[in-house]
């Protein structure tokens, strides 16, 4: 999350037959015969196919749904806007190390819940859903605590592409909420379906849950 809430073309071309022109000679010279025409027309070019743009989500797909809380390791952290994604990745790695040491099994994608923002940066909770522990309280490291993922009524949006470009998606989210007259809470949850190795990685795929009042 960053500062600020988001032809089929070408027709077959047919080659033209070349025309040979006989040049007239003087009456005393032998006339040059015309060049033979090509045996067949050139092969038509295949039409160029352009992939259609991705479909715009419909209102049906953006209906609020109830999101249930799940057991998760949580790490409270903060970052400035310039190195935000690097700080998120760092916090998630700490949670994975803590889960491994405590013998807790991750059960879903890692997440980040954004709780506070200002001009300088943001505060967030790194989240790693895990199986509910049985028996004694697990021993955790790296500042992790055992808590739960956010719960409530939320709308799910999607972002594909680099984290550097996620502002565009948040701008679109803001425009949608304004258009529908919906008011969001102060929590935005990013579910990293595919984590990018850095903020410029185009492989990133994120589901963004906006909790509605």
Residue 98 lies in a domain: yes
Residue 26 lies in a domain: no
Spatial distance between the Cα atoms of 56 and 111, rounded to a whole number of angstroms: 24
Average pLDDT over the chain reads 81
The CATH number given to whatever domain includes residue 193 is 3.20.80.10
Q: What is the pTM of this model?
A: 0.73
Residue 51 lies in a domain: no
Q: What radius of gyration, in Å, describes the C-alpha atoms of the chain? A: 30
And the tokens for 79? 């970052």
Per-residue model confidence (pLDDT) at position 187? 92
Residue 191 lies in a domain: yes
Residue 32 lies in a domain: no
Domain count, the chain: 1
Q: Domain limits at 133?
A: 61-212
Residue 73 lies in a domain: yes
Residue 20 lies in a domain: no
Residue 176 lies in a domain: yes
* pLDDT under 70: residue ranges of the chain: 1-61
**Model pLDDT for residues 113-157, shown as the tens digit of each residue:** 999 999 999 999 999 999 998 888 899 999 999 999 999 999 999
**Model pLDDT for residues 45-55, shown as the tens digit of each residue:** 544 444 444 43
Spatial distance between the Cα atoms of 177 and 185, rounded to a whole number of angstroms: 12
């Amino acid at each position: 999350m960053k500062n600020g809430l988001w032809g089929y073309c070408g027709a077959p071309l047919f080659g033209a037959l070349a025309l040979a022109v006989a040049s007239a000679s003087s009456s005393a010279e032998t006339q040059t015969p015309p060049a033979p025409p090509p045996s067949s027309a050139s092969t038509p070019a295949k039409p160029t196919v352009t992939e259609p743009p991705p479909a715009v989500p419909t209102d049906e797909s953006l209906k609020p749904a109830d999101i249930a809380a799940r057991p998760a390791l949580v790490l409270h952290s903060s970052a400035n806007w310039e190195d935000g994604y690097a700080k998120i990745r760092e916090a998630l790695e700490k949670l994975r190390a803590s889960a491994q040491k405590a013998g807790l099994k991750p059960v879903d994608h890692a997440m980040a819940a954004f709780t506070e923002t200002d001009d300088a940066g943001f505060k967030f909770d790194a989240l790693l859903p895990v199986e509910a522990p049985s028996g004694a309280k697990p021993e955790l490291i790296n500042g992790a605590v055992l808590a739960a993922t956010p719960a409530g009524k939320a709308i799910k949006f999607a972002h594909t592409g680099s984290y550097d470009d996620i502002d565009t998606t948040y701008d679109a989210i803001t425009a949608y909420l304004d258009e529908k007259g919906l008011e969001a809470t102060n929590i935005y949850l990013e579910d990293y379906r595919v984590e990018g190795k850095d903020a410029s990685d185009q492989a990133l795929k994120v589901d963004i849950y906006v909790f509605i009042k």
